[in-house]
Structure 1
């Protein structure tokens, strides 16, 4: 390992850990805002109304199920994939412990906007660290490669499906859900440019997926 490469590794690890933690906090802000959760969180929220488990625990369990779906599409997880799957949920539970439930609309909108911004920045951080995509991003890109469908078609199909199931279970679908779907892509792309760590060819190979491939 070169000296430059060795100097990058601590930054990458720190960026991954902070990004995963902040991702959970962003989820908590959006859910507390209660004007519509992100698609996968609608599903998690819906499930939480029917089982005696916390939002964070359900998030971890859903991530594990999604990772099992990687097997038939021959996706390989990176270290960041595992960290994401195991720690985003607990981070969200931490957020729920400290964040109040706003009771006026302008605060709800503010919570949503803060959550969306934090989540997008967190995505740029953990993807930019090049330790592999999150479980849901990997499922999207894997299906894109195996089926030959455009990224946007795969993403739309997945998110419409999980929103429909989550809504049927009682998850909160609202204007925030639509706003999230429209804004999260461009915002993540912006933050990925800011936080992307420049790697050598060998490091990119070891890190798994490139950030621009995940962004699609």
Structure 2
């Protein structure tokens, strides 16, 4: 349990830092951050704080979808935007196209690792992911279609409000899935450790099952 909680908190903090790096790169950000950035432009509220507010408002849509938040859901709302705001305060301005791309790719990689950490901790989905899975369960639409509709909507709204859409937005969409796919098995707390399997082998005196449940 201690490992899972620690993993959850580190993952959520790192997620906010990764998003902040993509913002500072100035080459385009993921759809939800585009939306937060656009709202920030018009309200004067920091992007991170806006992200927290959006997370809370999205959670309200869980009610008609009959979704139940977990500890991870609430922690996501409270910590991701807060850590993003902190990181935006301490990260120095980025200039020069090579450095911008380096910071962008570092941010995407950080978000991928962070996603794997908090998903692997098994404390419930974030509010945005829960919205999409809730739509899938209630409406019967494929998850990919729910994600496409939701993210296309917030991307368009964010862009109209002045959020940054660019090559970074495209790279995020292309890279985040494969990177999470690679990182998630490392941090999935449901997977038995190699050490645990070796102990099991020694106790039974037989070879371990190559395909454990």
Cα distance, 1:52 vs structure 2: 2.5
Tell me how far apart the structure 1 counterparts of residues 27 and 45 of structure 2 sit (CA, whole Å). Answer: 23
Instruction: Classify the secondary structure of the residue corresponding to 2:124.
Output: coil
Matching residue of 2:175: 183
Instruction: Classify the secondary structure of the residue corresponding to 1:173.
Output: coil
Please list every run of 5 or more consecutive structure 2 residues that lacks an aligned counterpart in the other structure: 193-213
Report whether the alignment pairs 1:94 with 2:86.
yes
Which aligned segments of 4 or more residues in structure 1 are displaced greater than 6 angstroms? none
Matching residue of 1:125: 117
Matching residue of 2:140: 148
Cα distance, 1:199 vs structure 2: 7.1
Tell me how far apart the structure 1 counterparts of residues 145 and 190 of structure 2 sit (CA, whole Å). Answer: 29
Report whether the alignment pairs 1:15 with 2:7.
yes
Instruction: Classify the secondary structure of the residue corresponding to 2:69.
Output: coil
Matching residue of 2:73: 81
Q: CA RMSD in A?
A: 1.2
Tell me how far apart the structure 1 counterparts of residues 26 and 151 of structure 2 sit (CA, whole Å). Answer: 19
Report whether the alignment pairs 1:54 with 2:46.
yes
Tell me how far apart the structure 2 counterparts of residues 79 and 199 of structure 1 sit (CA, whole Å). Answer: 21
Report whether the alignment pairs 1:103 with 2:95.
yes
Which is greater in Rg?
Answer: 2
Pick from 158, 163, 166: which aligns with 1:166?
Answer: 158
Tell me how far apart the structure 1 counterparts of residues 24 and 4 of structure 2 sit (CA, whole Å). Answer: 30
Report whether the alignment pairs 1:42 with 2:34.
yes
Instruction: Classify the secondary structure of the residue corresponding to 1:49.
Output: helix
Tell me how far apart the structure 2 counterparts of residues 146 and 88 of structure 1 sit (CA, whole Å). Answer: 27
Please list every run of 5 or more consecutive structure 1 residues that lacks an aligned counterpart in the other structure: 1-8, 201-216
- TM-score after normalising by structure 2: 0.88
